[in-house]
Amino acid sequence: MKVTINDVAKHAGVSIKTVSRVTNKEPSVRQVTIDKVTAAINELNYQPNVAARNLASTSAYVIGFIYDNSNAYYVIDMQNGILSSCKDKGFELLINPCDSRCENICEQLTSMVKQARLAGLVLTPPLSEDPKILAALDAISANYVRIVAGEENDGNETLTVLVNDKVGAISITQHLIELGHRHIGFISGDEDHESTKARFNGFKDALSEHKMTLNEDWVIQGQYSFESGVRCANSLLALENKPTAIVACNDEIAAGALFAARLAGLDIPKDLSIVGFEDSPFSRQTWPKLTTVHQPNIEIAKVATDLLIEKHRKVLTQSTKIFTPSPVIRDSTYSPT
């Protein structure tokens, strides 16, 4: 016979509501009560029905992760971080990829929030940066947290986790300059991502700080993909006046650039230094391994979800968290001859 919540309550000598509060990991439950209920759950091998709990309860226990990103490593890191927070706090995770350029994307998201009865949404770029999407979610009073590139809160009162990509780009560009590079190219990511703008601004600021002139011929518009890195690197390498180093907007682009350079017969890093951004597995799967900027995506996602659940439970103590990426020096950079 299946063990029910009634059985657990009777075995632990507490009310059904108390068992529910413990399984839902609600705050302010005394530790002695948690221990008593947990022992009863383990002894009876009780398995809570999460779907039924979400339907029956006056509160929701499902967090939605909505994304439009072709980088599988980024998505997996986000998923793992969100899932870690959900497990800690007794919530389930609903994952939904989407096309942010779809004409009815706002209707899709608001309909999903209502039908799935979500406790909140974790939004990543470019969804987290789209004013129309945010306005549509605000219109239905949806609970959400934004993960965005930025140095400070832009005045939006919603939950926000900021990633200071500009500082990360400054530091990695300075690394190249300190090695002696004065001819540095830049391969951009997708234009509609704020991270692209922030990383390019950081690149420009580093050049300016060292009184170096930006060469527009060495700035190539790309996308966040390996193929784009190959194409853009080929464009830079075809120039008569070539850069001696390349800053790529992420590791996937950098890996593509490194591939193109090696096919062209260049020695990396002696003939050309290449750096990436994010410290994804791409940076460790190339040869040589990429110098990059570490972005703790799993931790970022976990913190964002923690904030979201705290707001849902009305125990929120802060609405903004800032992460600052830092350089990771590996084998793809070298002092020019």
Reported as a pLDDT band with limits 50, 70 and 90, residue 113 is confident
**Span 158-162, mean pLDDT?**
93
pLDDT of residue 9: 78
Reported as a pLDDT band with limits 50, 70 and 90, residue 56 is very low
- Is the Cβ–Cβ distance between 33 and 22 less than 8 Å? yes
- Is the Cβ–Cβ distance between 106 and 121 less than 8 Å? no
| pTM, entire model | 0.82
Q: Tell me the C-alpha distance between 69 and 56, whole Å.
A: 34
**Does residue 51 surpass a pLDDT of 70?**
no
**Does residue 60 surpass a pLDDT of 80?**
no
Burial grade of 45 (CB within 10 A; 0-12, 13-18, 19 or more): exposed
**Does residue 303 surpass a pLDDT of 60?**
yes
Domains parsed from the chain with CATH numbers: 5-48 (1.10.260.40), 62-162+296-324 (3.40.50.2300), 165-294 (3.40.50.2300)
